[in-house]
Amino acid sequence: MPPPENPVALVTGGSRGIGAAIAERLTADGYKAVTLGRTSGDVQADIGDAESVKAAFEQVREQHGPIVVLVNNAGERRDGLTIRMSAEDWEAVVNTNLNGAFHCTRQALDDMLKARWGRIVNISSVVALHANPGQSNYGAAKAGMLSLTRTVAREMARKGITCNAVTPGVIETDMTTGVADKLLAGVPAGRIGRPEEVAHAVSFLCSDGAAYINGATLAVDGALAA
C-alpha cells in the first residue's frame, strides 16, 4: 500500500545534528516532519518516561495527524570505564537510547497499524558492532536497539510496516566533540562523516524503493565496522 496523504514523520532528538538533518531531508521528501526533544523541538518529552511519550504523541496527532514514520534518533552519552561507571550513568544512557526507542515505537505502531503502512528507522551506532572502551552503557543500549529493530520487523512485516536501523560511525555532531579526532585514525575512509549522509540513508529506508527491506542494519561509517 502507498503511504497515506500528508504523512507525518516524527524525529526524536530532531533539533540538532543528525536529527535536524533527517528532519530537513524528510521534509524535502514530502513528509510533515515533526521534531521531538527533551527541552527543544516542535514537541517536548522525556522519552525515557512512557507517560511523557504518550502525551507527546497525542499532541502530535492532534496538531498534525497520525504518525506513519518514526525515526528514533535521540541519544545520550555518559562515557567512562565500566569499572568506574555509576549506576546512574548506566541507567540514564540505557533509558534514553533504548527505553526511549521502545516507548516511541510502541506509540507509533498504533497509528501505523491503522494506516497499514509505516516506516521505523532506529539510529543505532557503530559501537553496537565495534566495541569502544569507555562506552559500555552506550554500546549496550545501541546494540539493544538492533535487536529491537529485528524483532519489530518480524512482528510487523505482514502489516505493511518496516523497521530498520542505521549505524552511523564518526559523524560531525555535538556528541562526537572531543572524541572525533581520536577515532578518525581508525576510519578507513579517512574522514569524518556528515549528518546529511546519515539523513540520506534514512530517506532511502523510508522510501517505496525500500519496501522489501525490513529488519536490516545499514552502516554509514566509512567502513569503520567492516
Q: Could you read off the pLDDT of 107-130 as tens digits, one per residue?
A: 999 999 999 999 999 999 999 998
Question: What integer is the mean pLDDT of 10-24?
Answer: 95
Q: How many residues does the chain have?
A: 226
Q: Is the pLDDT of residue 186 over 90?
A: no
The reply to whether 226 falls in a domain is no
Asked if the structure places residue 3 within a domain, the reply is no
Q: What confidence category does residue 90 fall into, taking pLDDT thresholds of 50, 70 and 90?
A: very high
Active site residue 138: yes
Is 1 a member of any domain? no
- Give pTM, 2 decimals: 0.94
Instruction: Specify if 2 maps to a domain.
Output: no
Residue 225 domain-assigned (yes or no): no
Residue type, 42: D
Residue type, 105: T
pLDDT tens string 18-31: 999 999 999 999 99
Contact 187, 222 (CB under 8 A): yes
Is the pLDDT at 173 greater than 90? The verdict is no
Question: What's the average model confidence in pLDDT over 6-18?
Answer: 94
- Comparing CA positions, the residue from 146, 199, 145, 149 lying closest to residue 172 is 199
Backbone angles phi, psi at 194, to 5 degrees: -110, 145
Helix (H, G, I), strand (E, B) or coil at 207: coil
Is residue 101 packed enough to be buried (19+ CB in 10 Å), middle (13-18) or exposed (0-12)? buried
Position 179 scores a pLDDT of: 64
**Residue keyed to cell 524525529:** 11
**Choice among 138, 141, 173, 210 that is catalytic:** 138
DSSP per-residue string spanning 128-161: GTS--TTBHHHHHHHHHHHHHHHHHHHHHGGGTE
pLDDT-derived band of residue 178, with 50, 70 and 90 as boundaries? low
Is 173 a domain residue? yes
Q: Considering the chain, what percentage of its residues have pLDDT values greater than 90?
A: 85
DSSP letter (8 states) at residue 213: -
CATH assignment of the domain containing 146: 3.40.50.720
How large is the angle between the packed helices 136-156 and 87-94, nearest 10 degrees? 30
pLDDT (0 to 100) of residue 9: 98
| pLDDT above 70: residue 225 | yes
Cα 80 from chain centre = 23
Closest CA to 104 of 160, 166, 167, 38: 38
The predicted model gives 119-147 an average pLDDT of 95
| Phi, then psi, of 92 in degrees rounded to 5 | -65, -45
Give CA–CA dist 156/147, Å, rounded: 14
What residue numbers bound the domain in which 26 lies? Answer: 8-220
pLDDT above 90 (res 37): yes
Name the residue among 130, 143, 47 with its Cα closest to residue 92. 47
71: in domain: yes
DSSP 54-119: HHHHHHHHHHH--EEEEEE-------B-GGG--HHHHHHHHIIIIIHHHHHHHHHHHHHHHHT-EE
pLDDT band of residue 180 (cuts 50, 70, 90) is: low
Give residue 132's pLDDT: 86
Q: Number of folded domains in the chain?
A: 1
Q: What is the mean pLDDT of residues 76-97?
A: 95
In a domain, 53, yes or no: yes
